[in-house]
Amino acid sequence: MYKVKLSVFEGPLDLLLYLIRKNEVDIYDIPIAEIAEQYIEYISLMKMLDLDIAGEFLVMAATLLQMKSEAMLPAGATTEHDELMITREELVRQLLEYKKFKNAAMMLSQREEIQRNLYTRSFVEPGFEDFDLREFRIEATLFDLLSAFRTVLKAMPEEQLTGFREETVTVQQKIREILRSFKNRKRLEFTSLFSAVCGRLEIIVTFLAILELIRTKRIIARQARLFSRIWLYKRK
């Protein structure tokens, strides 16, 4: 399977914060069982896609599962692995510290954009000068893309997921096909690229092609607001 390197994407704490925001839960009162299950599901998706997952993701998954097991024990009961597990309080502290760091980085990025706007009528990324991206200012993260891909998989009829074509579709072929889809269009809705696919392999290859196009900055993925539809724009 073609491997997409994820050096430009986020880490395990980003995924945890993403799930907390998506589920609209209090960071001080995380429903460990629910979040752990969803975290494992995203890890499974990344493994299925053969993405280059950092070991820290697996460590966090194991930590959440251990916390889930602890939460299911009777009050006062302990396990022999207590010393290996960080506490819920420590996890919350790490998340809060990381969130501060992320917010500070976002503020610096916003200030940089404001400074650019002082000298230009409106700032857009190089290669997108003809596109009005002001309505779609939020750049989709890996986890936004995985969430949308998860929705696509769940919406596919079982017979379509188990179907296959005799010929093998490669990532490079899909990349060329996706780029051709932009002809006479300034943007494409993410899920539209899966409307004509046939079989699980082609679905996976299509998603990997999208990730590679984003990684190599040939397209950009944007949202109007958090967790909304993802639109893809092609760089000139």
C-alpha atoms less than 13 angstroms from C-alpha of 136 in its C-beta half-sphere: 20
Q: How many whole angstroms separate alpha carbon 76 and alpha carbon 64?
A: 19
Q: Is the pLDDT reported for residue 54 higher than 70? A: no
Closest C-alpha among 85, 45, 51 to residue 68 = 85
97 versus 160: the higher-pLDDT residue is 97
Question: What b/e string do you get for 160-184 counting C-beta neighbours within 10 Å, with b at 16 or more?
Answer: eeeeeeeeebebeebbeebeeebee
Q: How many whole angstroms separate alpha carbon 51 and alpha carbon 142?
A: 11
Give me the pLDDT at residue 105, please. 67
Q: How many whole angstroms separate alpha carbon 55 and alpha carbon 197?
A: 32
Closest C-alpha among 222, 204, 213 to residue 144 = 222
Q: Which of the listed CATH numbers 3.30.465.10, 3.50.50.60, 3.40.50.2300, 1.10.10.580 matches domain 138-234?
A: 1.10.10.580
Alpha helical stretches, state H, the chain = 12-22, 32-48, 55-71, 88-117, 142-155, 158-162, 171-181, 200-215
Q: Is the pLDDT reported for residue 166 higher than 70? A: no
Q: How many whole angstroms separate alpha carbon 207 and alpha carbon 140?
A: 14
Give me the pLDDT at residue 8, please. 41
Mean pLDDT of 207-227: 90
Domain spans in the chain, listed from the N-terminal domain onward: 12-117, 138-234
H helix or E strand, kind and range, residue 221: strand 219-223
Q: Is the pLDDT reported for residue 84 higher than 50? A: no
Closest C-alpha among 54, 56, 51 to residue 210 = 51
Q: Is the pLDDT reported for residue 41 higher than 90? A: yes
Give me the pLDDT at residue 121, please. 46
User: pLDDT for 189-202, tens place per residue?
Assistant: 999 999 888 778 88
Angle between helices 32-48 and 55-71 (to 10 degrees): 150
Q: How many whole angstroms separate alpha carbon 13 and alpha carbon 150?
A: 20
To the question of pTM greater than 0.85 for the whole model, the response is no
